[in-house]
Amino acid sequence: MRKDTKDAFLKSIYNDFHHLQDPENNLRFPSYDFVKSKILNLDENLFSIEKLGRSVEKREIYGVKFGNGPIKIMAWTQMHGDEPTATRAVIDFFYFIQNNRNKYKEVIDFIESTCSLLIIPMVNPDGAAHHTRENAWDIDLNRDALRLTAPESQILKKVFDNFQPKYSLNMHNQSKYYGCEDTLKHVELSFLATAPDKNRTLTLSRKRAISLINMIINEINSLENNEIPIGKYDDKFEPRAFGDNFQAKDSGLVLIESGFVPGDENEEKLRKLNFLSLLISCLFTNEISYSEEDLLNYNKLSSISEFYFDLIIRKATLNIGNDNFIADIGIKREMVWQGNSKYYYFGFISELGDLSTSKGFVEIDATDCIIKPVNTYGKSISDIEDVQKLNFKDLHKKGIGNIKLETLSLNRESTSLPVNILPLYDDWSPEKLSPATFLIQKIDTDETKYIVVNGVSFPVTL
């Protein structure tokens, strides 16, 4: 298939993705049972499904094969249990292959005849079930490539050794707080052609990985009009990591890290970008031929580091004891897992001081403003339905950020409401600024400009 034909198909798939993705694949954190059911219900005339082994807690781990071509590609997702975006992408990929053999027959037939693809969705099912990076023994699987203590690590190593892929895709999520060091933009995707040794030798397999990364980025940039902030991880050798070890075994290993898209709570764009990265790998690996230009372009990718906050309030005046001082306030919102794909966020002040080298997804200039505690609603309310009927803009004008609920049994729980919901017996002191809830008032007039509730800012208009 010619490159221009591939590009045309890729553009069509990109534009039509909403209709090509699995409609049941709608949770940001798909459960193990959901992923397992999707695998076991694949058409065995198209896919080969193999039970590879079991996790610490005896959950089955599966491998899915598609194609019989000469180029072997192995991909795996969620070896860190709380990093699910690529798992959703491979479910969409399976759905695309199985349900679009009419409209996209030429593309699917090409992949089938060119590639032998092996995908392991959810390498760490116990971590996924408990929403932890580590497995059930608290082992980071990506630091277990040498000792192979965990059964999940043993499975991954055995499958790799038996399959011997020419290319490997190690698919992860990274912290939302990473940014591109050159542009200071947030990062939506990061890549790395891992080092095979401490000297970071540019082996043939690593050159292949660099070429594939450039191919993926070029195609995505073409589809996204060069608007995707893309970064590159530091390539310091990590001898305990699977990526570095597999690179040393002559597999062109590409690390793909999903970052953050502001406003995309369910990570739908990242899901799509992961799907495209996998699809591009299948379509274009037969064209890869390393050149010095590949290395130049790869080295031009921005390095990344962690310098973002969810909210930065700049040059605010704070009062502690009898002292006033001016500082920037950096707030982060930490996910609190509740189970069954449910979670909420807890806002907290991560850093105070000079944050001039940091950025916020939201920033407020608090020059000539002082931080004051919020007020609590004057009476308790019997149930959450009554809270939802309140006029929150009026509450914010009165500086109210807390409401006590008679029926709340938990110590504190976040909701989507723009107030903190507290139980009657809660002894939380707003002066502690934890959770990150306070008023931003003009010093000279006491006018409230913003109210911050659980790390989210709301403008107050009088």
Residue showing tokens 């959810």: 122
Give the CB-side neighbour count of residue 192, counting CA atoms within 13 A: 23
Residues that are catalytic: 238
Distance CA 337, CA 129 (A): 10
Task: Tell the burial category of 462 from Cβ atoms under 10 Å away from its Cβ (0-12, 13-18, 19+).
Answer: exposed
> How many Å apart are CA 355 and CA 451, to the nearest integer?
21
Cβ atoms of 121 and 90 within 8 Å: the answer is yes
Distance CA 113, CA 68 (A): 6
Name the token pair of 271: 């899901």
Name the residue among 365, 392, 363 with its Cα closest to residue 377: 392
Q: Quick one: angle between helices 292-300 and 204-224, nearest 10? A: 60
Neighbour-count burial for 198-214, b at 16+ CB within 10 Å, e otherwise: eeeeebebbbbbbbbbb
Determine the Cα–Cα distance for residues 232 and 191; give it in Å rounded to an integer.
5
